[in-house]
Amino acid sequence: MKRTLAEAELEQVARHFRLLGEPMRLKILQALCGKPRTVNEIVAAVGATQANVSKHLALLAAAEILTREKDGQCVYYGMKDPLTLKLCELVHNQLAE
Amino acid sequence: MKRTLAEAELEQVARHFRLLGEPMRLKILQALCGKPRTVNEIVAAVGATQANVSKHLALLAAAEILTREKDGQCVYYGMKDPLTLKLCELVHNQLAE
DNA sequence: TTGACATATAACTGTATGGTTATATGCTCA
DNA sequence: TGAGCATATAACCATACAGTTATATGTCAA
């Protein structure tokens, strides 16, 4: 880090990391690696409750980690930023050592 | 991510992120950017309880994010891996956009 | 030894949040 | 308009854990 971050910035960075600190959310992100998917598709992919997935998606979208696009009665969620995936890769590679 | 991670791997990655998802721990990491420091120095730097800091340090060291080296009655903690700082920078830069 | 200091740990509390079930909202089509 | 599907939300419970206070452990110096 180039300079010392203020409390508010630390809080923000921490919140971002905390969002990535949940296996189910990582699973959801994994499911969205390739292309955007509907909630139902994601539910099927990760094997969790619809309500549970929906809550996680809302959090991830609110943090702008995911995009949210409505199409008819379906809602498509997709990766907003490749950085997130990069972060996961980095951590995983390090842990693999 | 190149391939789908197994449950256990997701759990591991998530645990790592979760450790970074706490402002106080980020503050501690910041204090250790430059060089290793003793617990007391860190306590002074972050302005928290000694007991609290000690607990966080133990967690970070157990996860091999920090090194721990005893010298007399002092214990020096230091950044083990530059990757962690890189992660924080990346997230912070993205949020700054 | 004893006293002073540095660090760790135990026990406890409060709070945040992940997961669940049930229900609400909203769209599409017959 | 009403049935059926997709998604979101509310209410609740249980657990994890950050922070606190108090105490234990361990090391040095006189």
Cα A20 from Cα A33, distance rounded (Å):
15
Residue A51 CB lies within 7 Å of the nucleic strand D: yes
Q: Give the nearest partner residue to A13 out of B5, B81, B92, using CB atoms.
A: B92
Q: Is the pLDDT of residue B47 over 60?
A: yes
Residue of A nearest to B3 (CA): A30
What domains can be seen in chain A, in order of their start residue? 7-96 (1.10.10.10)
pLDDT along chain A (97 residues), means of 10: 76 96 96 95 97 98 97 96 87 79
Q: Please determine, for residue B2, whether its predicted confidence score (pLDDT) is greater than 70.
A: no
pLDDT at A4: 75
Instruction: Tell me which H or E stretch contains B77.
Output: strand B74-79
- What is the pTM assigned to this prediction? 0.91
Place of tokens 């000690």: B54
Distance A13 CA to D5 C1' (A): 39
Task: Give the integer Cα–Cα distance in Å for B28 and B46.
Answer: 6
Contact (Cβ atoms closer than 8 angstroms) between residue B13 and residue A88: yes
pLDDT band at B71 (very low <50, low <70, confident <90, very high): very high
